[in-house]
């Protein structure tokens, strides 16, 4: 990726890799790359690329001062160099650092592509997204944090506060991610103990509350909620409370206590002693909450402290969050592909990837090493904070002690990772070895793909595929299929279609074949799947069928089924995989059926599309509920004209039936 410093343009590019390049007598890879670039430059009549003074340089079409070049996710080198010449921008392809990893990469380069983005930030986000998606071999990779929880404050008139693992671009505010779930639970419990916020999912609006649409629940009576659903707490007061919660989640407890102390004085002067007492209770609870946080400075500083360590191909980075002089949180992230990478490169990767999605950027960062490109990191942080961020690498005093403590935590977490890996090696293969032995498989079934069909009397036929790697689900590889060629309830033909579609695509795209395919069903489903594999030239693919009734295992070419012991770990694994495929298929089938029901009933009404139909069902619970609703109730959801169309539709239907 090439980021333009002066003109706000971003460039992203990648190399196409071909394994056979190494067999062309390419030596260290510089010659074929140079030849490729020369051919590329010579074949551009529109001068999108202009020939530079050397074939290992690329001259770009925009004038700009390029400070930094990075490689995209398919094959990123450690570093590229950039410089400005009169009139044009040139990028030198700096392959002079011939460490083994760079040499291996360069020997496989066969092409170069460029994508223009509007800003450096967009280029960085694109790089981050593609690295996660493609998992390249030559990139330092911050292991996917999609499973880490956040505390979200929703974008609603009366916001909710709860835990989520999905970040949506819906205007909600997200705090985290929390790599320590215990810390997250303590923070959320503190919020709910101190503040009376709602936990319900009601779509509260000021208009709905005024119409007395909702009633208070048990949470109000036990003091857990202020009762916004009946207007007991006003919109203004509720959102003031949400603002206080966000300060608490940000660690700004000193400011929050100062505000509550001022509120308590005002309430006392007004003789509103009940409110003053509530403010005092909140202050005491917040003080208890902050007592659990380590004091690192008597100054009210806000700072993140970051350190990284590595061993072999694995690394770990730790971030200490200091707010109001107290250590309010610690997060750790594992890194991969870090062999032969410097601490500076790891720190840079950690800072970039973390602060792209961070909810808050403090005014200071203390780092264990200078980032490989400090100028770009400062620019990134400034764009996120809308103000400058001080970056320092402490070398003495108390600040250095904090860095050492942060690095010690990173080392501890990395050691924990190594222990977990060793345990995984000991426990996972035992079940897989038993499965290989019992089913007489040619290889250890580390990757298992399982298929299941779902339909009701042939309607909305679908299928699912779930993937287990080392006996654990890999949900990012799950797939769902709509059956295209089958009419009516025909599980055999449906299975044949799905197996053919799946593995035709795998072969076409050069994907990974599983060590074992499992189909949910007996001899019929298995025979259909085997025939499909033969038709696409995969006759030797290991495959079995698992029948539900007696939990029999069917193997191609065997007349008798295999009955594994009920206590067998291999059977329990197969059952777990089969049940997961069934759950995934049923969920997909149900969602399609619900959409079809909406489409065939409510969307027949003039002026009612899928969006309005969904609103109606959410409001009234069912089509019958919509039919029984009054004109006024319908009008509040979809408007007067559409409401009248609904009443006319159902009135006409009733008359026709009579």
Buried b (16+ CB within 10 A) or exposed e, 74-108: bbbbbebebeeeeeebbbbbbbeeeeebbeebbbb
pLDDT band at 124 (very low <50, low <70, confident <90, very high): low
Residue 648 lies in a domain: yes
Residue 548 tokens, joined? 């539900």
Residue 430 lies in a domain: no
Which residue, of 571, 593, 615, is where some domain finishes? 593
pLDDT at 119: 61
Together in a domain, 106 and 179: no
Together in a domain, 397 and 485: no
The average pLDDT across 345-362 equals 85
- Whichever domain contains 573, its CATH number is 3.30.420.340
Angle at 177 between CA 172 and CA 179, to 5 degrees: 155
Strand partners, 327: 294, 322
The average pLDDT across 113-128 equals 60
- Residue 20: name the closest of 110, 112, 135 by CA: 110
Q: Is the pLDDT assigned to residue 408 strictly greater than 70?
A: yes
pLDDT band at 27 (very low <50, low <70, confident <90, very high): very low
User: What gap in Å lies between CA 78 and CA 98, rounded to an integer?
Assistant: 10
User: What gap in Å lies between CA 383 and CA 540, rounded to an integer?
Assistant: 55
User: What gap in Å lies between CA 389 and CA 363, rounded to an integer?
Assistant: 5
pLDDT at 249: 81
The average pLDDT across 293-319 equals 79
Residue 284 lies in a domain: no
C-alpha torsion 589→590→592→597, nearest 10? 140
pLDDT at 654: 54
pLDDT tens per residue, range 628-647: 888 888 888 888 888 998 88
pLDDT at 441: 92
Which residue, of 186, 221, 251, is where some domain finishes? 251
Together in a domain, 586 and 457: yes
Q: Is the pLDDT assigned to residue 553 strictly greater than 50?
A: yes
Q: Is the pLDDT assigned to residue 101 strictly greater than 70?
A: no
The average pLDDT across 574-584 equals 93
Residue 45 tokens, joined? 């009549």
**Lowest-confidence region among 160-164, 437-441, 485-489, 634-638:** 485-489
Together in a domain, 588 and 607: no
Residue 256 lies in a domain: no
pLDDT at 265: 86
CA–centroid distance for 439 within its chain: 36
Residue 435 lies in a domain: no
pLDDT at 30: 36
Residue 263 has a CB neighbour count (10 Å cut-off) of 19
Q: Is the pLDDT assigned to residue 499 strictly greater than 90?
A: yes
Which residue, of 251, 266, 294, is where some domain finishes? 251
Q: Is the pLDDT assigned to residue 218 strictly greater than 80?
A: yes
SS3 223: coil
Together in a domain, 525 and 577: yes
User: What gap in Å lies between CA 42 and CA 228, rounded to an integer?
Assistant: 69
pLDDT at 426: 64
pLDDT band at 73 (very low <50, low <70, confident <90, very high): very low
Comparing 443 with 328, the larger pLDDT belongs to 443
Residue 169 lies in a domain: yes
pLDDT at 536: 92
pLDDT at 117: 57
Together in a domain, 21 and 91: yes
The backbone torsions φ and ψ at residue 449, rounded to the nearest 5 degrees and listed phi first, read -115, 130
The average pLDDT across 259-271 equals 85
The backbone torsions φ and ψ at residue 347, rounded to the nearest 5 degrees and listed phi first, read -60, -45
The backbone torsions φ and ψ at residue 466, rounded to the nearest 5 degrees and listed phi first, read -115, 155
pLDDT at 91: 44
Together in a domain, 376 and 503: no
pLDDT tens per residue, range 241-254: 999 888 888 777 77
Tokens 């003031």 correspond to 240
pLDDT at 133: 59
Together in a domain, 44 and 116: yes
Together in a domain, 623 and 584: no
pLDDT at 104: 63
Number of domains in the chain: 5
User: What gap in Å lies between CA 199 and CA 383, rounded to an integer?
Assistant: 35
User: What gap in Å lies between CA 617 and CA 624, rounded to an integer?
Assistant: 9
pLDDT band at 5 (very low <50, low <70, confident <90, very high): very low
Range with top average pLDDT, 69-83, 110-124, 501-515: 501-515
223, burial (CB in 10 Å: exposed 0-12, middle 13-18, buried 19+): exposed
Q: Is the pLDDT assigned to residue 238 strictly greater than 80?
A: yes
Residue 437 lies in a domain: no
- Whichever domain contains 612, its CATH number is 1.10.150.20
- Whichever domain contains 386, its CATH number is 3.30.420
pLDDT at 460: 75
pLDDT band at 78 (very low <50, low <70, confident <90, very high): very low
Together in a domain, 205 and 324: no
C-alpha torsion 326→327→328→330, nearest 10? 170
pLDDT band at 503 (very low <50, low <70, confident <90, very high): very high
Taking all residues of the chain, what is their mean pLDDT, rounded to a whole number?
A: 76
Residue 262 lies in a domain: no
Range with top average pLDDT, 177-181, 201-205, 219-223, 464-468: 464-468
Strand partners, 11: 2, 116
pLDDT at 575: 93
Domain containing residue 372? 303-415
pLDDT tens per residue, range 440-478: 999 999 999 999 988 776 577 889 999 999 888 999 899
SS3 599: helix
Together in a domain, 60 and 35: yes
Together in a domain, 319 and 245: no
Tokens 């059956």 correspond to 483
For 253, 270, 368, 390, 398, the CA distances from 303, given in Å and listed in that order, are 15, 39, 14, 9, 14
């Amino acid at each position: 990726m090439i980021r333009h410093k002066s003109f706000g343009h971003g460039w992203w590019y990648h190399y196409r890799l071909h394994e056979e390049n190494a067999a062309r007598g390419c030596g260290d890879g510089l010659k074929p790359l140079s030849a490729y670039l020369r051919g590329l430059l010579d074949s551009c009549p529109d001068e999108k690329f202009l020939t530079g003074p050397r074939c290992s340089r690329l001259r770009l079409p925009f004038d700009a001062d390029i400070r930094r070049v990075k490689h995209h996710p398919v094959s990123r080198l450690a570093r590229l160099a950039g410089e400005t010449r009169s009139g044009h921008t040139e990028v030198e392809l700096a392959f002079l650092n011939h460490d083994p990893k760079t040499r291996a990469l360069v020997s496989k380069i066969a092409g170069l592509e460029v994508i223009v983005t509007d800003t450096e930030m967009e280029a960085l986000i694109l790089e981050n997204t593609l690295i996660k998606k493609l998992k390249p071999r030559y990139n330092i990779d911050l292991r996917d944090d999609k499973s880490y929880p956040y505390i979200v404050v929703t974008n609603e008139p009366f916001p909710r506060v709860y835990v989520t693992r999905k970040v949506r671009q819906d205007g909600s505010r997200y705090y985290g991610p929390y790599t320590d779930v215990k810390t997250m639970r303590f923070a959320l419990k503190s919020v709910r103990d101190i503040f009376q916020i709602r936990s319900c999912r009601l779509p509260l609006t000021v208009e709905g509350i005024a119409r007395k649409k909702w009633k208070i629940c048990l949470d109000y009576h036990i003091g857990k909620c202020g009762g916004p659903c009946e207007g007991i707490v006003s919109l203004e007061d509720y959102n003031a409370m949400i603002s206080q919660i966000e300060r608490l989640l940000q660690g700004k407890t000193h400011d929050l206590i100062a505000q509550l102390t001022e509120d308590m004085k005002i309430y006392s002067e007004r003789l509103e002693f009940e409110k003053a007492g509530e403010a005092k209770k909140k202050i005491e609870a917040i003080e208890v909450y902050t007592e659990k946080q380590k004091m690192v400075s008597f100054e009210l500083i806000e700072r993140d402290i970051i350190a990284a360590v590595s061993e072999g191909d694995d690394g770990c980075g730790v971030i200490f969050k200091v707010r109001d002089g107290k250590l309010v949180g610690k997060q750790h992230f594992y890194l991969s592909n870090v062999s032969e990478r410097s601490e500076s490169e790891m720190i840079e990767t950690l800072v970039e990837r973390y602060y792209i999605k961070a909810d808050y950027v403090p005014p200071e960062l203390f780092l264990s090493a200078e980032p490989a490109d400090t100028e770009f990191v400062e620019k990134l942080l400034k764009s996120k904070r809308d103000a400058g961020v001080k970056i320092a690498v402490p070398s003495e005093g108390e600040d250095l002690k904090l860095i050492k403590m942060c690095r010690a935590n990173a080392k501890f977490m990395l050691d924990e990772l190594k222990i977990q890996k060793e345990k995984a090696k000991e426990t996972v293969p035992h079940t897989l070895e038993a499965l290989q032995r019992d089913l007489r498989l040619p290889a250890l079934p580390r990757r298992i793909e399982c298929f299941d069909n779902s339909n009701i009397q042939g309607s909305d036929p679908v299928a699912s595929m779930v993937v287990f790697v080392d006996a654990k689900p890999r949900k990012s590889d799950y797939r769902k299929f709509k059956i295209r060629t089958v009419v009516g309830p025909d599980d055999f033909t449906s299975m044949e279609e799905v197996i053919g579609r799946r593995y035709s695509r795998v072969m076409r795209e050069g994907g990974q074949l599983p060590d074992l395919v499992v189909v949910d069903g007996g001899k019929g489903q298995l025979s259909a799947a085997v025939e499909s594999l033969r038709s696409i030239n995969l006759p030797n693919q290991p495959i079995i069928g698992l029948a539900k009734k007696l939990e029999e295992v069917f193997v191609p070419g065997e007349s008798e089924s295999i009955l594994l012991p009920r206590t067998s770990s291999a059977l329990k694994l197969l059952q777990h995989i089969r049940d997961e495929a069934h759950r995934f298929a049923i969920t997909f089938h149900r969602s399609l059926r619900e959409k079809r029901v909406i489409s065939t009933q409510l969307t027949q009404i003039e002026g009612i599309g899928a969006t309005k139909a969904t609103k109606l069902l959410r409001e009234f619970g069912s089509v019958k509920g919509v039919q029984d609703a009054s004109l006024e109730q319908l009008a509040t959801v979809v408007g007067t004209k559409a409401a009248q169309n609904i009443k006319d539709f159902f009135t006409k239907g009733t008359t026709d039936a009579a």
